[in-house]
Chain A
């Protein structure tokens, strides 16, 4: 393995030294030694941009980047999503901001609680759609807003009917989810394994 000692150098010098060595000697594996974390990160980025796979190590006061060429060219390392094959896709459609009929105050409380508890469906919860009065749950001041934002942050796709927002003059007030249209909603219904209407 080719060793490159770039200690005592400030950015971008360690990257340039590594680059020069790769160009001149074309090593299949390199060990680059630097003396600070920023240079280590920069050398890692450079090696990955050149198709190396990298491992970072710390040895005493030294920071190492070990790079091996070959395998796959630089790919963004992302967490692999859980296998989706055997998961059901559940779509929940809320066309009201109240759950059930009778008492409106109770209905709102139930709705907020329902949305808060929805996460218990786990990864099978696939789409959450708001139409008609339901869009009022996605705006500033909605009691459900924080829970919806948390769901969205957890990776759930929340779709909010644009025609409805427009009708209530709430386009600017929406604070969660993507504005959507009827074609998206119909397509989602077709792809879903189960559609739950509230």
Chain B
């Protein structure tokens, strides 16, 4: 299929990036993104917050600032209490307010299965757009949220996660990537994306595909939800993790010393995960420190970019 484009499209469909970017003038570009899904937590208010944090994240990953948003709602109005929808939307609105963005409209349809999400529009300077591509040898990789939400959500579904952990992971998924994005703006960042459904290595694979670089990931440096390692060892792993692994297997080499639970976390699909940042190697230590100082406590340097082998991810 051929998609028409025009000269003002900075990031279009051909790039498969986190969002589209369109130049309005020499100093302003528009970022557009949309995301929606079925409930991942039982509490409607928290679900609304998580859906909004997840949709907003794509704007942050492009180096932008979110400005406006529209609701997308699919709701089983005949079988479900409309109060639930109100709680969801309240969660979304509160999260948008925290992000400094406003809800300006939306659309709802009747559906058997509840779905909620948002289309978000943001601004960025055309020269400061961050994409997935453009990692350079010598860059370091920084991750701003711990991995394991997919596995923990599977344990929750299995009724095996204690209430305290449910709360912790819910808050983690609802946490905005705003502060992380603001902190990284002061550094020499070469590439950025957010970690979501394809898992850490799925998104990293997107960053290195196309050539020019390979990466080395230090499994022991990965920030993880500690309980997720236990649940992974018990086989409470979402099917999506295995699909992610199968899809990228050819690009990935994992050293035998990396234990299996940690390998599983590499492919665990994340909901509203952290930013994955490729920063000038000389600034990595300072960036992690600045992130931690700003309260992004679990930020960590997780790997480095190599000149080769190209398009390979080597985990040790």
Contacts and interface: CB of A to CB of B under 8 A. Distances in A.
Given A12-B154, A149-B306, A37 B234 contact: no
B297 to A, nearest CB: 24
Contacts of B77: none
B256 interface: yes
B158 interface: yes
Contact of B256 (A38, A45, A78): A78
Contacts of B308: 146
A175 B234 contact: no
B109 interface: no
Contacts, number: 64
A46 B256 contact: no
A49 B138 contact: no
Contact of B237 (A36, A38, A79): A38
Nearest to B264: A45
B155 to A, nearest CB: 8
A49 B160 CA distance: 15
Contact residues on B (Cβ < 8 Å of other chain), bracket: 20 to 34
Given A45-B234, A172-B282, A11 B306 contact: no
Interface in A118-152: 140, 145-146, 149
Contacts of A173: 138
B281 A172 contact: yes
Interface stretch (B42-50, B60-68, B185-193, B238-246): B238-246
A173 B233 CA distance: 37
B154 A45 contact: no
A38 B137 contact: no
A38 B259 CA distance: 18
B235 interface: yes
A96 interface: no
Interface in B130-153: 137-138
* A-B interface, 6 closest residue pairs, ranked by CB to CB distance from nearest: A42-B235, A45-B235, A46-B235, A38-B242, A38-B239, A12-B158
Given A37-B242, A43-B235, A44-B235, 12 more contacts: A11-B154, A15-B158, A38-B237, A38-B241, A42-B237, A49-B234, A49-B235, A78-B256, A78-B257, A79-B256, A140-B138, A175-B138
Interface of A: 10-12, 15-16, 36-39, 41-46, 49, 76, 78-79, 140, 145-146, 149, 153, 172-173, 175
